[in-house]
Copies of this chain bind each other. A is one copy, B any other.
């Protein structure tokens, strides 16, 4: 759009020549063709990161679950449905990227069995056996070489403690910790609030601001740490 072109001209191209990989949205884990498990992610935070990274001159790859959003101009968009698809695509693109930001809300469980045809309902209860999906962020943390790896934590309680644990355990360079129970923050909102912590221990509290503004600041803070 014209607005994007104009905004684009106002950004210093501090990410020129850099490759940035961003994931966004939810995943869907099917029971059958008409039933699945998912989460309330709308992809807004990931798309904001992709937009801001592109504004700053990066080559952006955006791997997204099913969302109702249009990819920013110039961004390479890859659509996936399941956590398994997301794992495969992210792993395929990891080695060639410099900054990797996992904003997607990937399902951590999926039904063990998926039926090709609609399961007919029966009277009474039934049980869905769930198994763990592959942990993408942990895998990236293990394989990390030159990449600057940023994760997200979406929690409803003991938010900061869980976030700090995740930063260390998954070998991240930084983490964006969201309390998704807070008003005007998290899933579906145009605004967000969070605590941004880097491996070096620098902490930034973002009050409720637009997801685009938070995205820009996350990228700028990361650049500072990288010394670019």
Of B34, B116, B129, B156, the residue contacting A125 (CB under 8 A) is B129
B117→A33 contact, CB < 8 A: no
The interface-forming segment of A14-22, A36-44, A96-104, A201-209 is A36-44
Asked if A154 is at the interface of the complex by the 8 Å CB criterion, the answer is yes
Contact call B118/A155, Cβ cutoff below 8 A: yes
This chain: copies in complex: 2
> Is A228 located at the chain interface by the 8 A CB criterion?
no
Residue among B36, B105, B121 making CB contact with A132, cutoff 8 Å: B121
Q: Is the CB of B109 within 8 A of A33?
A: no
| Size bracket, chain A contacts | 35 or more
Q: Which residues of B contact A33 (CB under 8 A)?
A: 156, 180-181
Contact A127 B130 (CB under 8 A): yes
Q: Which residue of chain B has the shortest Cβ distance to A181 in the bound complex?
A: B33
- With a cutoff of 8 Å between Cβ atoms, the chain B residues found around residue A121 in the complex are 108-109, 132
Enumerate A76-121 residues with CB–CB distance to B below 8 Å: 105, 107-109, 112, 116-118, 120-121
Q: How far does the Cβ of A184 sit from chain B's closest Cβ, in whole Å?
A: 16
Contact yes or no, A132 B128, CB < 8 A: no
Q: How far is the CA of A211 from the CA of B68 in the complex (A)?
A: 19
Minimum Cβ distance to chain B for residue A135 (Å): 9
Residues of B within 8 A of A124 (CB): 131-132
Contact for A157 among B117, B155, B180, CB less than 8 A? B117
B34 touching A154 by the CB < 8 A rule?
yes
For residue A128, which residues in chain B have a CB less than 8 angstroms away from its CB? 127-128, 130
Q: How far is the CA of A132 from the CA of B120 in the complex (A)?
A: 12
The 4 closest A-B pairs by CB, nearest first: A128-B128, A118-B156, A108-B121, A117-B157
Residue pairs across A and B with Cβ atoms less than 8 A apart, 23 shown, are A31-B37, A33-B156, A33-B180, A34-B156, A34-B187, A35-B37, A35-B38, A36-B38, A36-B39, A108-B121, A109-B121, A109-B126, A112-B125, A117-B157, A118-B156, A118-B180, A124-B131, A124-B132, A125-B129, A125-B130, A125-B131, A127-B128, A127-B130
